[in-house]
Structure 1
Amino acid sequence: MASFNSSHSSRSFRIRLLLMGLLILSQEAHSICPSVCRCGGQYASCGYQNLSAIPVGLPDDIRTLYLDYNQLTKLAAGDFSSLSQLEQLYLYNNHISVIEDGAFRGLASLKLLSLESNNIGMLTNRTFEEVPNLEELHLRNNRLSSLTSGVFSQVPRLRELDLASNDIGEFPTDVSRDLMNVEILDLSYNPASLLLTPVFGQMVALQHLKLNDLFAANSASVEDSIPDSAFDGLSNLRNLELKGNRLTKIPAAVKTLPNLTTVSLYLNSIQSVNADDFYRPSLLEWLHLEYNSLVEIPTSALAEFQHLTDLYLNYNHIPVIPSLAFLHNPRLAILHMSYTNLTTIEKDAFVGLGRLETLYLKGNNLTTIVDGAMNHVNPNVNLEISGNPIRCDCHLRGFAAWLKNNHTGSLIGGSSLQCVTPDRLNDTSVAGLLPNQFACAPRSPFPTLTISAVLETKVLLPCRIDADPALYTYWITSSHEEISPEQPHPPFAIADNGSLLVTNVSISNEGLYTCVVSNDAGEARSSLNLHILLSAAKPIKSNNISIVYICVAGGILIFVVLLLLVLLRRGIIARNMCIMDNEENEHAAHQQANAENIDNPTASQYQAYESLDGESLDGDDSGDHEANQGDHVYDHPPAETPPQPRPPHEYNMNEGYNNQAYNNRDDNVNDHEENQGDHVYDLPPAETPPQPRSPHEHNMNEGYNNQAYDNVNDHEINQGGNEVGPIAPPPLPPRPSALAQVQAQQSPPEHGGHEVIGINEGYASMREP
């Protein structure tokens, strides 16, 4: 019995040793790895080994195999038959030109096959027959010029197909039918002509389409190679890439995509973006417009992109971000505006961006960011603003305060924002400056001003200098004294706004005053003249009033010259001169008669010198309306035969004047001859009394106004003017009689002894004797 137990134990021990040996041998067999590869876990890497054939002895349980960057030229049938568990096979960057039928036999579990960057020129309908579970196929950068019918019929589970960088000019309809489950398709870097056929009609599952850098043959444009119906049937497409196609506008075919959320138009020549370019603009979430020709932010389109989260505008030519540009984009989280030649960000530019996470403004021409530009921006935003010529002056003060007190996010690309100008603050941290260090140089764009003040009153002299901040202000008085806020000097004091208050103005205060303002950025001066008036009634003689006088005199001179030219053409002057000579001789005779009787004037002589009101000079009545300032009023002495009464509007013998009657001898009290400087004369009676005529009888001179001379109620209030048409100037009026001279000496003019002469004196307003 003991012997039996001993033999049984010996056999059990031997069996156990055998089983352990077999297990060890089995593990060693599975752990074998070719010397040119590195194996670990469930993968083997045999890349970069200049292999010309598939290595033998690879572990049969691996799921990922890298054979990239070798010298493989052919894939033979059965090369991978032992790798039944393989799921990912990478064969890119070899020289494979031949793929034998059955090359992928045994790879029933394969899901990803990468054959890109080889020399493959043809695929047959049996190439992929042994990989029924293939989901991703990469054939980029090969030499495919066509696709054989049924080439993808053996891969019904295919979800992603990359055919970019080939020479495929046509996409057969039956090929697209075999790709009904494809969700991602890349046809970039192929001839654009492939879009001329209905490529995508059967790809109902397609969600991401890449058509980047298509090239057109025979110098045709890609724009012309995309028909409006190119994307028909792609009702589930969400992402569209049209990069680098030299498009000047968004193709009309894009508008047929109802569920588009991401559009990439990178590296084109698009000048404008409109909401009408999209079927449902409100669904857009990502919009890439880098490297285009935009000159402004498409604010009208953005107003419709209400679900936009990422906007890329880098490398355009957008100088301004206008106010409220993103008001309708509350979901925007990423905004790229680097290298856009940006110079100005207006106030409230980012209002509405409460969810903004990252703002890129790098490499622009921003010298300042105005106060209020960051209003309502998420304070936790990450800001990239490096590479801008920031000028730390008064215009940056508000942004600097926001950066220091409100911003809680990070500054991308540097620990702090640095000043570039002015030189005194170069390389200084914006966050480290005090508010008054952000200074703009004072300036005074105003000319010297003259201010008048009445004696013994007070006057406020303004300091007309723009300065921010005005750190220090003082005045230099007319006596060269310096007046500062700290040291007032009566009667001078500086007000809070920098103006100089002068109290109890005296004659000695008259002269030049200069205001001086300075801050960290510089200094400026502004001067003004203080003119003292003895009383408030004294006129202020300013340069402006002098200029007005000069302009008026010049205008009158031009008018007179033009008037003379017109009259010369009509031959009026010569005719009037003859008439005036006769009248002057008659007037001289009357003067002689007046001189003889001046020492003993008679009642008739007093009557002869009646005033314009019809009252005698010998007992001048207070009702005399002789108010013409400086006017010479003469009535002729009676002729030998008493003149007959004549109507107020008696016809003038001077045919060259306007059809107005001269001032009559029997002037009415209401004459109101107020013409300042006018010479008013009444005509002597003719030898034969003239016949009464209508006040508006037509003058023989057809070229002049049909108006009667000085009527009783003519209200001649024109100062120095006349109411008649232009005529030639008559000779100077004759000297007044001795009695008139005595009267003039007894009654000086009412204008300070200066006789006011009408502007047009000696012309049409003059009354002839």
Structure 2
Amino acid sequence: MNGEAEEDHQPQTPGRHIELATDEVEQGKNRDGGSGSSPGLTNGKGWDGKLRVPGKVALANPEALSDPEYSDEENVVEGEQIQADEDLFEDEDPDTYELISINSRIQSIPKLHLERFKKVTRLCLRQNGITRIEGLEDLADTLLDLDLYDNLIGHIRGLDSLTNLTSLDLSFNKIKHIKHVNHLTELTDIFFVANKISTIENLDGLTKLRMLELGSNRIREIQNLDTLKNLEELWLAKNKITSLSGLAELPKLKLLSIQSNRIADLSPLKDVPTLEELYISHNLLDTVTGLEENKRLRVLEISNNQISSLEGLGPLTELEEVWASYNKLDNFRDVENALRDKKKLETVYFEGNPMQTRGPALYRNKVRLALPEIRQIDATFVRT
């Protein structure tokens, strides 16, 4: 070892998520890969789920984040209405496969006269003032991807004929109940980020569902997932969940994001031996015991808890990344005992722990001595 690279590095964790620039999401995070970084925070993966609003774009429905009690259709403020919504697509080729109109102040889908388009597979009407899902029947034969992210929709209706849908995004709306989707049996991906949902329900029949995104809602219990036998990714960050029970009937689950909840016990994860990625920062953990049966874990994100020891990670020989910033780790020998035999381990984050804050000048060298095969310590690469 000849030293460490000076430049900071933001790990490129795979995912389709883009960060949302809000104070709530920023809490505990540094965009430049500094203090508080974690894989779920630096690239938006798993924090509030599929947060795909680029930069500081204003939300049409900002109350979904700022006011936990935001609700009630009667309080919707009328926006300025475009004179003729149908003109929005007047220059589009009638044979187009994709229709996109973002932040165009659309209030009525029927007024767009979408019956003109016979081959559309994707419809994206993000950041508008739409309150009702309607007027989509003429797209039923071809539509695969419906994106109504950030509107003012209070009820899931108007999807009866859209049985070919494979992706449905109703994030950042005003939905309280999951209803009228279980007939959409071709769905592989559903996004309900930042609504007002309190119960996971009415998903039976969605046997092809691969990814379910319910971040930033009001959910207290993981339940009613038993029929989702092909589910691979479950995103539940920023809810009010207290227990990891309810996952035992998901035989293909590979990724669980449950950051910013109230989890204190990892032992129910013994029923999910297929798990490969676990994002569980900002919870109530004081130990990592309970993961002994999760021997396929590659990524473990446990930052911002109260963990004082990594004892229990011994059997997890597939680990590639361990993110444990801002806990109570103070013993380099404990870290060495837990992680030194992990031949695939390349990245560790320990900043903000007593073992780093107590002696920051020697911290990196001590980690390198404890874990000589490591390639990245916090946001900095290690040169070999």
Report the Cα distance in structure 1 between the residues aligned to 2:152 and 2:186, rounded to whole angstroms: 25
- Show the 5 A alignment for 1:130-529: 130-148=116-134, 150-154=135-139, 156-172=141-157, 175-193=158-176, 195=178, 198-215=179-196, 222-223=197-198, 226=199, 228=201, 230-250=202-222, 252-274=223-245, 277-278=246-247, 280-296=249-265, 298-299=266-267, 301-322=268-289, 325-346=290-311, 349-369=312-332, 370=334, 372-374=337-339, 376-378=341-343, 380-390=345-355, 400=366, 403-404=369-370, 406-414=372-380
Kindly indicate whether structure 1 or structure 2 has the higher relative contact order, using CA contacts under 8 Å at least 6 residues apart.
2
CA separation of 1:111 and 1:408: change in aligned 2, threshold 3 A? same
Q: Is the 8 A contact 1:363 1:386 kept in 2?
A: yes
For 1:290-347, what per-residue CA distance to the aligned partner results, in whole angstroms no more than 9, with x for missing partners? 1111123x12x2222122111101111212223xx4332222111111112322222x
Q: Is the 8 A contact 1:132 1:154 kept in 2?
A: yes
Give the secondary-structure state (helix, strand or coil) at the position aligned to 1:153.
Answer: helix
Give the secondary-structure state (helix, strand or coil) at the position aligned to 1:335.
Answer: strand
For 1:131-189, what per-residue CA distance to the aligned partner results, in whole angstroms no more than 9, with x for missing partners? 222222111222112233x42423522221111222223333xx323211111101123
- Show the 5 A alignment for 1:73-92: none
**Code of the aligned partner of 2:233:** T
CA separation of 1:122 and 1:373: change in aligned 2, threshold 3 A? same
**Code of the aligned partner of 2:314:** V
Report the Cα distance in structure 2 between the residues aligned to 1:152 and 1:403, rounded to whole angstroms: 64
For 1:255-312, what per-residue CA distance to the aligned partner results, in whole angstroms no more than 9, with x for missing partners? 33222111111001211101xx13623311000011111123x12x222212211110
CA separation of 1:403 and 1:183: change in aligned 2, threshold 3 A? farther
**Code of the aligned partner of 1:337:** I
For 1:440-488, what per-residue CA distance to the aligned partner results, in whole angstroms no more than 9, with x for missing partners? xxxxxxxxxxxxxxxxxxxxxxxxxxxxxxxxxxxxxxxxxxxxxxxxx
Q: Is the 8 A contact 1:271 1:294 kept in 2?
A: yes
Shift of residue 360 of structure 1?
0.8
**Code of the aligned partner of 1:240:** L
CA separation of 1:180 and 1:404: change in aligned 2, threshold 3 A? same
Shift of residue 116 of structure 1?
2.2
For 1:35-90, what per-residue CA distance to the aligned partner results, in whole angstroms no more than 9, with x for missing partners? xxxxxxxxxxxxxxxxxxxxxxxxxxxxxxxxxxxxxxxxxxxxxxxxxxxxxxxx
- Show the 5 A alignment for 1:635-654: none
Report the Cα distance in structure 2 between the residues aligned to 1:321 and 1:107, rounded to whole angstroms: 56
Give the secondary-structure state (helix, strand or coil) at the position aligned to 2:225.
Answer: helix
For 1:69-117, what per-residue CA distance to the aligned partner results, in whole angstroms no more than 9, with x for missing partners? xxxxxxxxxxxxxxxxxxxxxxxxx985632279446613422222122
Q: Is the 8 A contact 1:386 1:414 kept in 2?
A: no
CA separation of 1:302 and 1:167: change in aligned 2, threshold 3 A? same
Identity, % of aligned pairs? 24
Structure 1 match to 2:31: none
Report the Cα distance in structure 2 between the residues aligned to 1:307 and 1:403, rounded to whole angstroms: 32
Give the secondary-structure state (helix, strand or coil) at the position aligned to 1:143.
Answer: coil
Instruction: Give RMSD over aligned pairs.
Output: 3.1
- Show the 5 A alignment for 1:754-769: none
> Which of these residues, 93, 109, 126, is aligned with residue 123 of structure 1?
109
**Code of the aligned partner of 1:122:** S
Report the Cα distance in structure 2 between the residues aligned to 1:114 and 1:280, rounded to whole angstroms: 38
- Specify the structure having the higher radius of gyration (Cα): 1
CA separation of 1:409 and 1:415: change in aligned 2, threshold 3 A? closer
Q: Is the 8 A contact 1:381 1:408 kept in 2?
A: yes
Q: Is the 8 A contact 1:105 1:131 kept in 2?
A: no
Q: Is the 8 A contact 1:352 1:376 kept in 2?
A: no
Q: How many residues align?
A: 297
CA separation of 1:193 and 1:214: change in aligned 2, threshold 3 A? same
Structure 2 match to 1:713: none
Q: Is the 8 A contact 1:386 1:413 kept in 2?
A: no
TM-score after normalising by structure 1: 0.36
Structure 1 gap ranges (5+): 1-93, 216-221, 417-769
Q: Is the 8 A contact 1:129 1:155 kept in 2?
A: no
Report the Cα distance in structure 2 between the residues aligned to 1:116 and 1:106, rounded to whole angstroms: 15
**Code of the aligned partner of 1:412:** D
Q: Which protein is richer in helix relative to its size? A: 1
Report the Cα distance in structure 2 between the residues aligned to 1:313 and 1:279, rounded to whole angstroms: 18
**Code of the aligned partner of 1:153:** D
TM-score after normalising by structure 2: 0.68
CA separation of 1:126 and 1:339: change in aligned 2, threshold 3 A? closer
Shift of residue 190 of structure 1?
2.6
Give the secondary-structure state (helix, strand or coil) at the position aligned to 1:303.
Answer: helix
